[in-house]
C-alpha cells in the first residue's frame, strides 16, 4: 500500500474524529488542535498521491500542508477567542464537575450554567478526581483554573 495513501487516510481519520468527538488532542495541551493536524496530514498525503513522491514534491507537499494546518489552527483559535469574548456571564465562581482527571497539566470540567453546553479544558494546582465538584477560580483564554469544592 502506498505510504501517501496511508498518511491521507490517517489524516482524514484524525480530522473526522476531531470534528465528531471534539478535539482529541485537547487534553495534551500542546497548542495545536487535532483538526489542524488531521487537515495537514490529509493534505500532505493527498498532494503526495497526486504529484508523486519525488523529494521536491514532498518538500512542496510539506510546505502546503504546514500552511494549511496553520490556517486551520488560526481559524479555530479565532473562533474560540470570539466565543470566549462573547460570554455575557462571569465564569469565575461557576461550579461544575470534573469530567477527566484534572491537575497541574490539564483536565476537563463541565460547568453548571445554561450557556455552558460543552466541556472546558481545565487545570488545578492539585489533582482532582473524575466526578468531583469544582469551582472556577481563574480564566486564561479558554482554559479555566479550578479548585475542588470541599464536601
- 107-111 and 95-98 beta bridge pairing: antiparallel
Q: Give the start-to-end residue ranges of the domains of the chain.
A: 3-85, 95-148
Report the SS3 class of residue 95. strand
- pLDDT tens per residue, range 18-39: 777 665 555 555 567 778 888 8
* Alpha-carbon span 90 to 57, nearest angstrom: 50
Evaluate if pTM is beyond 0.75.
Answer: no
**Domain covering 95-148, topology:** OB fold (Dihydrolipoamide Acetyltransferase, E2P) (2.40.50)
- pLDDT tens per residue, range 52-104: 878 888 888 889 888 988 888 888 776 666 555 555 678 899 999 999 999 98
* Alpha-carbon span 81 to 115, nearest angstrom: 16
Amino acid at each position: 500500500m502506498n505510504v501517501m495513501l496511508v498518511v491521507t487516510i490517517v489524516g482524514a481519520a484524525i480530522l473526522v474524529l476531531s470534528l465528531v468527538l471534539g478535539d482529541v488532542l485537547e487534553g495534551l495541551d500542546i497548542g495545536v488542535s487535532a483538526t489542524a493536524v488531521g487537515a495537514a496530514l490529509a493534505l500532505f498525503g493527498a498532494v503526495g498521491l497526486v504529484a508523486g513522491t519525488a523529494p521536491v514534491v514532498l518538500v512542496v507537499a510539506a510546505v502546503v500542508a504546514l500552511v494549511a494546518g496553520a490556517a486551520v489552527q488560526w481559524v479555530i483559535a479565532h473562533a474560540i477567542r470570539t466565543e470566549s469574548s462573547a460570554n455575557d456571564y462571569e465564569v469565575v465562581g461557576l461550579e461544575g464537575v470534573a469530567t477527566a482527571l484534572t491537575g497541574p497539566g490539564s483536565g476537563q470540567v463541565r460547568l453548571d450554567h445554561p450557556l455552558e453546553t460543552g466541556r472546558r479544558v481545565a487545570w488545578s494546582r492539585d489533582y482532582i478526581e473524575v466526578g468531583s465538584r469544582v469551582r472556577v477560580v481563574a480564566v486564561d483564554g479558554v482554559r479555566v483554573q479550578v479548585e475542588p469544592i470541599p464536601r
